[in-house]
């Protein structure tokens, strides 16, 4: 089975004015699609892997029986697909607060405000392209960090909970170089907290 774009539960203009329609459309139909195309193309050489769960493959990347150059393509394109799929899923203008997650965030970071500040600073200070992450680590503790490129937290054996794309393609049309403004506004469309 080939990977394809996940269904978007809102329109490209639904996250305006925080994320503009053109950015959404390009990001979803071009950038995300490109990762899916590369992922499907590299997996054509490894048909047995297409039946396995992508998250599990990512967790066990080191032991996959793949040529090294294909492994790099798989890491980038598979990560790109997983990361963007979560990003679309956690956004909406309609709040759908996850009370259990909020409770855990308060328990770990003190308050939602302190969590947001730490997460925002991580996203803003990440050098170059990448993502800011809230993850659950191997001991089921919440952690914040950033990863470069399309690296997935599954590579660390961690489960992604919240992610923020800080590649320039995620914000450049509307915010140009003002990543901090994009990060600040993004909280308005994160539906879970
Ligand atoms: Mn992106």
The structural domains of the chain, with segments of one domain joined by +, span 19-193
pLDDT per residue as tens digits for the range 121-177: 999 999 999 999 999 999 999 999 999 999 999 999 999 999 999 999 999 999 999
With cut-offs at 50, 70 and 90, classify the pLDDT of residue 54. Answer: very high
Tens of pLDDT, residue by residue over 94-123, are 988 899 999 999 999 999 999 999 999 999
Output the pTM of the full model. 0.97
Q: How far is the CA of 61 from the centre of ligand 1 (A)?
A: 22
164 C-alpha to ligand 1 centroid (Å): 9
Distance 83 CA to ligand 1 centre (A): 8
Which CATH number is correct for 19-193, 3.55.40.20, 3.30.70.1280, 3.40.50.150, 3.50.50.60? Answer: 3.55.40.20
The alpha carbon of 180 and the centre of ligand 1 are apart by a number of angstroms equal to 16
Determine the distance separating the centroid of ligand 1 and the alpha carbon of 107, expressed in angstroms. 30
Instruction: List the one residue out of 173, 148, 140, 152 whose CA is nearest residue 75.
Output: 152
Query: In angstroms, what is the span from residue 17 Cα to ligand 1's centroid?
Result: 18
């Amino acid at each position: 089975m080939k990977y394809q774009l996940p269904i978007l539960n809102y329109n490209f203009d639904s996250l305006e004015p925080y994320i503009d329609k053109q950015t959404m459309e390009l990001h979803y139909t071009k950038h995300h699609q490109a990762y899916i195309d590369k992922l499907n193309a590299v997996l054509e050489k490894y048909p047995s892997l297409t039946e396995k769960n992508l998250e599990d493959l990512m967790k066990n990347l080191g032991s996959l029986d793949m040529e090294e150059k294909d492994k790099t393509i798989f890491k980038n394109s598979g990560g790109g697909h997983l990361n963007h799929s979560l990003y679309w899923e956690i956004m909406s203008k309609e709040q759908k607060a996850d009370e259990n997650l909020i409770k855990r965030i308060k328990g770990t970071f003190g308050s939602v405000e302190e969590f947001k500040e730490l997460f925002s600073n991580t996203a803003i200070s990440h050098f170059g392209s990448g993502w800011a992450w809230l993850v659950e680590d191997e001991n089921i503790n919440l952690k914040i960090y950033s990863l470069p490129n399309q690296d997935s937290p599954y590579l660390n054996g961690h489960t992604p909970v919240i992610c923020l794309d800080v590649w320039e393609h995620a914000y450049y049309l509307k915010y140009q170089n003002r990543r901090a403004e994009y990060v600040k506004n993004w909280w308005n469309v994160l539906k879970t907290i």
